[in-house]
């Protein structure tokens, strides 16, 4: 077996125009809803990454035919009740979105199914979806502590529930709403804060009535999905690494094209602007129910800020990159209400704090966040980081965040376990190189 290491050369700046790959959250949902729809749907800009391909092969195993036509994924929908029993466990790799959303869908099927994942996914909490699904009448057996594999019994009659979710999580909300499509009555989810609303937007695009009242969203069971074409915007979560990379490196001047700027996701833009980044949105427009824009960012001085729980929720996947920006800023950045970061692909608070310290940054992890004392950005002192070796803990976003630190490092940064970058951003190294960040990839035998 081999494992990939990134060797990131120190210094540089990011320039030019980039189009990062399609949005991961939107790509997963596009496959799922197209598979459940009546008719043929065409998904352009689909993210061809390991996570989204895991969702696609799960539906393939349930009888969904698909093909590539002119670079788009074309899906032959089987209707709400048309999936067939898979002849194997559905292996969802590293993808939490696939497992949590699929558990809602599988709970409503006539057949039994088993959802499995890799070592990281098998450590992640699934009780948060098992609880509401059980209340709806689903039968799900899990490993100790509510971990995968999940064995979901089919043929259960689901009833609608009103569910007050203890966390603002689009994965929990979407899971319950998707089970709600198979339930008798109106299923309603209340959330303690805002979570991304791609499910609601896209279900409407497939002809389903989804209602929102303040912090609650509801769906009536039995509604049919009608095939629809989806144009997937570029992923703001992938763009975030380049936004931060350009913002922290003087002389950078970068344009990121057609990036999704959904208001429930755009925290990274607001935080960087609050830190004084020279970042502007150009030509704001709508594509397939999602707002998009080109984003222009230039390098310059940043200052510290407070990222509270509400902002964390709007930038949940972008926090690792934002912590790199904080380390380059003048003054202190405090992050609070960020406990959810501990249950992502790894404990992102602990792993980011350890990595930042390794690179000489003065920071301290707290129970619900982190405090980062930035080095400031003076023209005569470009480095904010020493060089060193970083453990990415098999987490794609940790690896890409620390790769961007290379732009302000004094010595090379070496990052382990970078195979996982392919879960969300398969051509990251190529795009980074094109923009001006040089990364050598070493294949190491393990
Ligand atoms: C996602 C929701 C978020 C996010 C994940 C993708 C989604 O998770 O971290 O990468 O597509 O619904 P939570 O909803 O659990 O916060």
Read off the pLDDT of residues 87-115 as tens digits, 9 standing for 90 and up. Answer: 999 999 999 999 999 999 999 999 999 99
Residues 213 and 271 grouped into a single domain? no
Locate 224 and state its tokens.
């049919």
Give the pLDDT of residue 380.
Answer: 42
Residues 276 and 315 grouped into a single domain? yes
Give the pLDDT of residue 138.
Answer: 98
Measure Cα distances from 415 to 95, 119, 235, 388, 404 in Å: 21, 20, 23, 9, 11
The model's confidence at residue 446, banded by pLDDT at 50, 70 and 90, is confident
Task: Report the C-alpha gap between 236 and 339 in whole angstroms.
Answer: 22
Residues 310 and 337 grouped into a single domain? yes
For the Cβ of 259 lying below 6 angstroms from any atom of ligand 1, the answer is no
Which residue's CA is minimally distant from atom 16 of ligand 1? 169
For the Cβ of 208 lying below 6 angstroms from any atom of ligand 1, the answer is no
Give the pLDDT of residue 379.
Answer: 45
Residues 331 and 260 grouped into a single domain? yes
Average pLDDT over the chain reads: 97
Active-site position among 317, 416, 417, 419: 317
Task: Report the C-alpha gap between 209 and 338 in whole angstroms.
Answer: 33
Residues 181 and 322 grouped into a single domain? no
Q: Which atom of ligand 1 approaches the CA of 316 most closely? A: 9
Residues 393 and 413 grouped into a single domain? yes
Task: Report the C-alpha gap between 209 and 219 in whole angstroms.
Answer: 7
Q: What is the pLDDT of residues 171-181, one digit of tens each?
A: 999 999 999 99
Largest Cα span, the chain: 68
Give the pLDDT of residue 229.
Answer: 97
Q: What is the CA radius of gyration of the chain?
A: 21
Last residue within a domain, chosen from 231, 249, 282 = 231
Residue 247 has pLDDT above 70, yes or no: yes
Q: What is the pLDDT of residues 62-94, one digit of tens each?
A: 999 999 999 999 999 999 999 999 999 999 999
CATH of the domain at 158: 3.65.10.10
The model's confidence at residue 361, banded by pLDDT at 50, 70 and 90, is very high
Active site residue 317: yes
CA 407 / ligand 1 centre spacing (Å):
28
Give the pLDDT of residue 436.
Answer: 98
Residues 227 and 264 grouped into a single domain? no
For the Cβ of 431 lying below 6 angstroms from any atom of ligand 1, the answer is no
DSSP labels, 168-208: --HHHHHHHHHHHTTSBSEEEEE-SS----HHHHHHHHTT-
Give the pLDDT of residue 381.
Answer: 56
Provide the residue range defining the domain that includes 64: 24-231
**Mean predicted confidence (pLDDT) in 405-413:** 97
Which residue's CA is minimally distant from atom 5 of ligand 1? 97
For the Cβ of 424 lying below 6 angstroms from any atom of ligand 1, the answer is no
For the Cβ of 196 lying below 6 angstroms from any atom of ligand 1, the answer is yes
**Mean predicted confidence (pLDDT) in 12-35:** 98
Is 334 within 8 Å of 371 (Cβ atoms)? yes
Residues 242 and 188 grouped into a single domain? no
With residue 132 as reference, give the H or E element that holds it.
Answer: helix 127-135
Last residue within a domain, chosen from 185, 214, 231 = 231
Q: Which atom of ligand 1 approaches the CA of 28 most closely? A: 11
Residues 157 and 10 grouped into a single domain? no
For the Cβ of 316 lying below 6 angstroms from any atom of ligand 1, the answer is yes
Q: What is the pLDDT of residues 49-59, one digit of tens each?
A: 999 999 999 99
Is 152 within 8 Å of 158 (Cβ atoms)? no
% of the chain at pLDDT higher than 70: 99
CA 168 / ligand 1 centre spacing (Å):
10
> CA angle, corner 149, sides to 3 and 22, nearest 5?
55
Measure Cα distances from 169 to 87, 235, 363 in Å: 31, 18, 27
Residues 369 and 381 grouped into a single domain? yes
Residues 286 and 149 grouped into a single domain? no
Residue 382 has pLDDT above 80, yes or no: no
* Beta partners for residue 2, in sequence order: 445
Q: Report how many domains make up the chain.
A: 2
Residue 149: asked if its preceding bond is cis (omega within 30°), the reply is yes
C-alpha closest to that of 34 among 248, 166, 271, 229: 229
Locate 400 and state its tokens.
């890409």
Give the pLDDT of residue 377.
Answer: 59
C-alpha closest to that of 321 among 258, 391, 253, 246: 246
Residue 37 has pLDDT above 80, yes or no: yes
**Mean predicted confidence (pLDDT) in 313-324:** 98
Last residue within a domain, chosen from 197, 231, 265 = 231
Q: Burial, 87: exposed, middle or buried (Cβ in 10 Å; 0-12, 13-18, 19+)?
A: exposed
Residues 397 and 268 grouped into a single domain? yes
C-alpha closest to that of 140 among 104, 185, 189: 104
Which residue's CA is minimally distant from atom 4 of ligand 1? 317
């Amino acid at each position: 077996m081999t494992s990939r290491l990134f060797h990131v050369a120190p210094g540089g700046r990011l320039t030019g125009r980039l189009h990062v790959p399609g949005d991961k959250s939107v790509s997963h949902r596009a496959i799922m809803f197209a598979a459940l729809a009546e008719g043929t749907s065409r998904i352009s800009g689909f993210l061809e990454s390991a996570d989204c391909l895991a969702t696609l092969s799960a539906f393939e195993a349930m009888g969904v035919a698909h093909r590539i036509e002119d670079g788009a994924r074309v899906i032959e929908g089987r209707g709400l009740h048309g999936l067939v029993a898979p002849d194997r466990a559905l292996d969802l790799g590293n993808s939490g979105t696939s497992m949590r959303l699929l558990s809602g869908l599988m709970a409503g099927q006539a057949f039994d199914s088993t959802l499995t994942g890799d070592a990281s996914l098998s450590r992640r909490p699934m009780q948060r979806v098992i609880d509401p699904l059980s209340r709806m009448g689903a039968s799900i057996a899990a490993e100790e502590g509510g971990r995968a594999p999940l064995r979901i019994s089919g043929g259960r009659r689901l009833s609608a529930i009103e569910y007050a979710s203890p966390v603002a999580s689009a994965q929990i909300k979407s899971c319950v709403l998707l089970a709600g499509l198979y339930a008798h009555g109106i299923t309603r989810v209340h959330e303690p804060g805002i979570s991304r609303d791609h499910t609601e937007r896209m279900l409407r695009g497939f002809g389903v009535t989804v209602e929102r009242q303040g912090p609650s969203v509801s769906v009536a069971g039995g509604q049919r999905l009608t095939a629809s074409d989806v144009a997937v915007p570029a992923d703001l979560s992938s763009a975030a690494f380049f936004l931060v990379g350009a913002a922290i490196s003087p002389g950078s001047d970068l344009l990121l094209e057609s990036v999704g700027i959904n208001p429930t996701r755009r925290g990274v833009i607001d935080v960087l602007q609050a830190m004084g980044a020279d970042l502007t949105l150009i030509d704001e427009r709508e594509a397939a129910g999602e707002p998009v824009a080109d984003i222009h960012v230039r390098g310059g001085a940043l200052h510290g800020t407070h990222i509270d729980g509400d902002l964390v929720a709007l930038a949940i996947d972008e926090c690792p990159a934002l912590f790199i920006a904080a380390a380059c800023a003048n003054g202190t950045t405090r992050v609070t209400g960020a406990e959810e970061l501990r249950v992502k692909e790894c404990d992102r608070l602990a792993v980011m704090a350890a990595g930042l310290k390794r690179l000489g940054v003065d920071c301290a992890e707290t129970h619900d966040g982190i405090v980062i004392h930035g080095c400031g950005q003076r023209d005569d002192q470009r480095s904010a980081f020493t060089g060193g070796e970083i453990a990415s803990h098999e987490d794609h976003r940790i690896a890409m965040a620390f790769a961007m630190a290379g732009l302000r490092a004094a010595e090379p940064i070496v990052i382990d376990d970078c195979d996982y970058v392919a879960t969300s951003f398969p051509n990251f190294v190529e795009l980074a190189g094109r923009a001006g960040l040089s990364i050598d990839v070493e294949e190491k035998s393990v």
